[in-house]
Structure 1
Amino acid sequence: MDRVYCEPCWLFSDRMCLSHHPSWTVGINDWQGLSAKIKKHESSRAHLAACVVFDTWKNDLTVDAQLDSEYKSQVRFWTDVLMRITDVTLTLASCNLAFRGHREKVGELNSGNFLSVIDLLARYDPVLRELLDKKSNVNYLSPSIQNELIALLSQRVHDEIVSEIKEAEFYSVIMDTTQDLSKVDQLSQVFRYVTVRKDEADNAIAVDINESFLGFQNISDQTAQGLETKITELIQSKGLPLHKCRGQGYDGASTMSGIYSGVQKRILDKEPNAVYVHCAAHNLNLVLNDACQHITEIKEYYDILQRLYVFFSQSIKRWELLENHLKSKPTLKRLCPTRWASRRDALYALRFCYADILQALTKITLRSKKSDERTEAMGLLKAMEAFEFVMMTVIQEKILETINIVSQVLQKKDVDLLQAASLLGNATCTLAQLRDQFDNLKCTAQGLASSWGIRCNFRHKRTRRIKRHFDELTEDQRLTNPEEIFKVNVFYMCIDTVVSQVRTRFHGMDSVTRKFQFLCPTELLRASDEALNESAQTLAAIYNEDLSSEFSSQLLSFRNALGVTDVATALKLFLTIPVTVASAERSFSKLKMIKNYLRSTMSQDRLSGLAMLSIESQRARRMDLTEIVKEFAQKNVRRRGRFGHC
């Protein structure tokens, strides 16, 4: 065929186009002026359109392929967007930060932390920048999406913890309640269980004691029956069998700890092996509280400490005056009525700032023009210049230092009853020995008093005279020496009260500890075969559903490094029993940060979800966010289309 034609136009030219010239599709044989005709055709609209289609076809880019490529690009974009939004949600929740602001639009003033962080990231991240530049109603930045992501993230953490509890042989419940800012009673759910870490060869390499938080639950019925019903329902809703519960940890409130109709007794009736252990940390606080309440001098001493703090802290000028004297020394601390560790800090600050406080009070008494201020300063100054007050400072610091060591350890998650009992036993011995160290404490107090310019002698008090009636055998107060009066009525009584209260209040813990004490390595090696066999049989009889009749023989074999199946079970049982409710108490600190006065209308589900992501933040950070995105995308048909069925 002696003709020339345009291949793109021959294949893809639009025959209906007005600029279409059929000669280029059938061929041209007019050779005169051909180059000019070619140039004119190359610039025609029909030819250019045909060339675009021709190039697409030549590169194997069909319309279907182009549409598929565009769809995959959109799927990647929306997946990347949601990954970033989910990560921002998790970060804010882990840091206890509020999400929403006064307005719900990106870029506006007071738009809240969530939208502000998105706007900040968009300055450096092209994906979020493209999202904010899109003129679309869909951007996944609304409060409802936030709630949905919080729910998905917290549910994933919840399910992972529940799965671990189910894999563990036993668990214990640790529950405590508090009132939030909206006057709603919140129940903190904490579960204690033991996990065994293994290597690639499936050999056990470590044992971990876990106390995991599983959310807050609002309580409407605060009676023992109502709380027991709610706790039982919560356990069953997680798919956990109640017959695997081996411990209960509550505070000393009668509703929870009552021996006749308290929560612990009601659950114990359903599961006899769910032993109740009164929170050791609460018990320790009650020991010191009893010592304070029953001895007038100690109560007055702490009242003066609180008055000192209030006196200086209620006035900016007085506080500034004190700060000028203290310089870099620790300042006065407020006394917390429930946390005795704060009292140790207050005593520490008082001892190291004693002389500076005396100077500040003296200046106020001499220079102040307010009569009530001078009167209060003179009263505090007189109290602090008494040698009894210095002596009390030394004694109380020694007692609280001993108790505080135990208190700090008891608040750890991985502490067990043997450790707690051992620490309490050592503390009791130390305090009992302190009874014979009055002279040493007096020497220490005299040295401090001399350095502070205080007289080192006890003040004389009027001898108490008892009114005599006819035919009655009465006599006046026997002790007349002020030092002896202080030693007997204050020092001895304080030490005796603390020691006796420790022994009385921790009797329940000791009874549980004695059941498992033979499993301690030192006892296991030291005990005779007969004693070991008797202890093992007693424990096996108590936990007959968990330990077999071969437990005693296995225990003897364990001592000889043989089979240990039931021994491991017994150890897990012991480690599962709770010691304190400190983990539940710590969750209340998070509750106050999350549900503050600016967020008092927060829903219960959002509160519980945010608390879980904050308290279990390490576990939440290990989550695979792509799984969260997939779960989010499967919620409805429109999302499945946008996210490509993930």
Structure 2
Amino acid sequence: MLTVTREIIVEQLKCTDYVAIQADDTTDISTKTQSVLVYRYIDERYRIVERFYGFSDLKDSSAQTIATAIMEKLDKVFPEDCHKKKVIAQTYDGASVMRGVSGGVQKKVAEVYPNAHYVHCYAHQLNLIIEQAVSNISQARVFFLDISGFCTFFSRSPKRTAVLDEVSDSRLPKPSRTRWSYHIRVVEAIYRHREALRTCFEKIIERRTDFEGVTVHEAQGFIRTLKEKEFLFFLFLFNDIMPHVDILYNQLQKRDIDSVYVQKATETFIKCIGRVRESTDNLEAKFPSEATFSGRNANMNTLNRLAKEVCDIIVTQAQERFAFTNHLEGAKLLQSDLFQTHGQSFPNEALNATVQAYPMLNKERLRTELSIVYERPEFCSSSGAISLLKLFVENNLEEAFSETMQLLKILITTPMTTAESERCFSTLKRIKTFLRNTMTEDRLNALAMLSMEKQLIQEIPDFNTRTIDKFASLKNRRAQFVYKLSK
């Protein structure tokens, strides 16, 4: 079954114009390092697909070991040098072993596949942006330690949780150090239920005979925290910031996104954070009347300055990390709304950078075609590369805009995140459990393929026949799985 499915995937890879890869590694239940490889390409029906190809059991997590495992699989699909140019992108997380410019995985793969430009996963970059903003401001770092303390307080005792259930219909989520999506939920929960939390702590103090002294002492501390203006200020501030982070994070998790879509989404995110910065002076009006300062040097001017500093760090980091340079300059070429104003010049710098990154594109023809695209309103109304590609296909314009089609395929094929790799690891945890931790690599990959590529398997009309034929031809068996018709 695994062999048949892989053969189908390889057939599609050989028929498509461009291919991109995603790779990541994790530790499974048996403490083995598992690396996953995912192919992203456009199929014959012009659908963007991300296909799981398999897990690899690695002896270590070095760059050489990971790169060797990736290229062994790539060489089986693209054995000839002329086909290696089809690999146009490689997307990993930001670990130094993956992104290293001299000895990282991306460098070793690029030496064999010259067009495989490295893209740092944008979802990971978003986590790093918020982490940078928090770590550089000590008061913000203390704030997130405080909200983590709220969650830890209730997670340690069912008696405490029972009191919370009496006064609120919602519990606090468990935070994570690496996943800011969880911090988003914690901030929202404490902001919405801060009065219920205060009531809960007061009930614990009233029932002090039912709880240990440490529990009562911590409850008193949390009540003081909920009255502090410093805590409330950062709670209101990050309650304004985190929804925009959550929106962008969810947008980056989608499979059918392209660089043009991501560029517009990140630009919108930067503008929204800028608006939050302008509204920080009005946060004090939301404070309850009994709120007081706890720090000796704390005042609203200091807090407003820190809030603006947090927003400035987020904006600066986002502009740097989400900057579209080199091969991603092609995304600018398709933002026709920037160039359709009368009298505005053609984006020659973006065109030169794109053609330099992808020498298979014809520069002059691409320039001519894009000039037409900018002038036609039906093309300018497209929201991104995927919608524009569908418009060309539906109107049979593939040959008329051949170079633009090639550019669209490149931009759509380029993965902006490693979300699919993370989904593969979720499947790995469901399949390889504590009670099934000795299964072989082939069995693991077969079960994972059945789970993740269920739709592909269902679309293969003769899948069962091919699987039976493949199984029967492996070796001589007592049972006859293949019967020949007698003449």
**Same-fold call, TM > 0.5?**
yes
1:246–1:274 Cα contact (<8 Å) kept: yes
Query: Please, which runs of 5 or more residues in structure 1 have no aligned partner?
Result: 1-152, 198-206, 464-480
| Cα distance change of structure 1 residues 419 and 516 upon mapping to structure 2, 3 Å threshold | closer
The separation in 2 between residues aligned to 1:294 and 1:538, in whole angstroms, is 35
Partner SS for 2:102: coil
> Pick from 344, 363, 367: which aligns with 2:207?
367
CA contact (8 A) 2:468 2:481 kept: no
Q: Matches of residues 310-321 of structure 1 in structure 2 within 5 Å?
A: 310-321=152-163
Q: Give TM-score, length-normalised by structure 1.
A: 0.66
8 A contact 1:192–1:576 mirrored in 2: yes
Task: Give the secondary structure class of the aligned counterpart of 1:435.
Answer: helix
Distance 1:398 1:269, change over 3 A: same
AA paired with 1:506?
F
Matched, 1:498 2:314: yes
Q: How big is the shift at 1:638? A: 4.3
Alignment of 1:461-540 (within 5 A): 461-463=295-297, 482-488=299-305, 490-507=306-323, 509-523=324-338, 525-526=340-341, 531=346, 535-536=350-351, 538-540=353-355
Distance 2:369 2:183 in 1: 49
**Which residue of the other structure, out of 581, 589, 599, is the alignment partner of 2:426?**
589
- The DSSP-based 3-state class of the residue aligned with 2:254 is coil
Q: Is the 1:540–1:549 Cα contact (8 Å) retained in structure 2?
A: no
- Pair 1:157 & 2:5 matched: yes
Residue correspondence of structure 1 range 105-504 to structure 2 within 5 A? 153-197=1-45, 207-239=46-78, 241-326=83-168, 329-369=169-209, 370-443=212-285, 445-446=286-287, 449=288, 455-456=290-291, 458-459=292-293, 461-463=295-297, 482-488=299-305, 490-504=306-320
Larger mean CA deviation between 233-242 and 594-603 belongs to 233-242
Say if 1:435 and 1:495, in contact at 8 Å, map to a contact too. Answer: yes
Contact 1:540 1:551 in 2 (8 A): no
- How far residue 554 of structure 1 moved from its aligned partner, in angstroms, is 4.2
Partners of 1:304 and 1:234 lie apart in 2 by: 47
Aligned-pair distance for 1:285?
A: 0.4
Task: Provide the C-alpha distance between the structure 2 equivalents of 1:238 and 1:501, rounded to a whole number of angstroms.
Answer: 38
Structure 1 residue 308: deviation in Å? 1.4
Question: Counterpart of 1:110?
Answer: none
Q: Name the CA distance, whole Å, in 2 between partners of 1:541 and 1:291.
A: 35
The one-letter code of the counterpart of 1:224 is: A
Q: CA deviation at 1:265?
A: 1.9
Would the aligned equivalents of 2:67 and 2:105 in 1 still touch at CA under 8 Å? yes
Tell me the secondary structure at the aligned position of residue 336 of structure 1: coil
Residue in 2 that maps onto 1:117:
none
SS in 1 for 2:38: strand
- The letter for the 1-side match of 2:432 is K
**Equivalent-residue separation in structure 2 for 1:528 and 1:274 (angstroms):** 36
Amino acid across the alignment from 2:262: A
Aligned-partner SS, 1:598: helix
Distance (whole Å) between structure 2 residues aligned to residue 345 and residue 598 of structure 1: 33
**C-alpha deviation, 1:503, in angstroms:** 1.5
What is the letter of the counterpart of residue 495 of structure 1?
Answer: C
Q: What amino acid is aligned across from residue 33 of structure 2 in structure 1? A: D
Q: Which amino acid aligns with 2:299?
A: P
Pair 459,183 (structure 1): closer, same or farther in 2 beyond 3 Å: same
TM-aligned CA distance change 1:367 to 1:179, over 3 Å: same
Larger mean CA deviation between 308-317 and 625-634 belongs to 625-634
Name the CA distance, whole Å, in 1 between partners of 2:480 and 2:320: 67
Given the superposition, is the C-alpha separation of residues 529 and 156 from structure 1 closer, same or farther in structure 2, using an over 3 Å criterion? farther
- Distance verdict in 2 for CA 1:313–1:557, change over 3 Å: closer
* Structure 2 runs not aligned, ≥5 long: 377-396
Give me the identity figure in percent. Answer: 27
Residue 644 of structure 1 corresponds to 483
d(CA) in 1 for partners of 2:368 and 2:95?
Answer: 42
Question: Does the C-alpha gap of structure 1 residues 263 and 351 become closer, same or farther in structure 2, counting only changes over 3 Å?
Answer: same
- TM-score, length of structure 2 as denominator length: 0.87
1:551 pairs with one of 366, 371, 387: 366
Distance of aligned partners of 1:285 and 1:582 in 2 relative to their CA distance in 1, 3 Å threshold: same
Structure 2 vs 1, CA of residues 557 and 439 (structure 1 numbering), >3 Å: closer, same or farther? closer
Structure 1 residue matching 2:278: 3-state secondary structure:
coil
- CA shift in 2, pair 1:194/1:524, >3 Å: farther
Which structure is larger by alpha-carbon Rg, 1 or 2?
A: 1
| 1:407/1:361 CA distance change after superposition, 3 Å | same
Change (3 A) 1:441 1:308: same
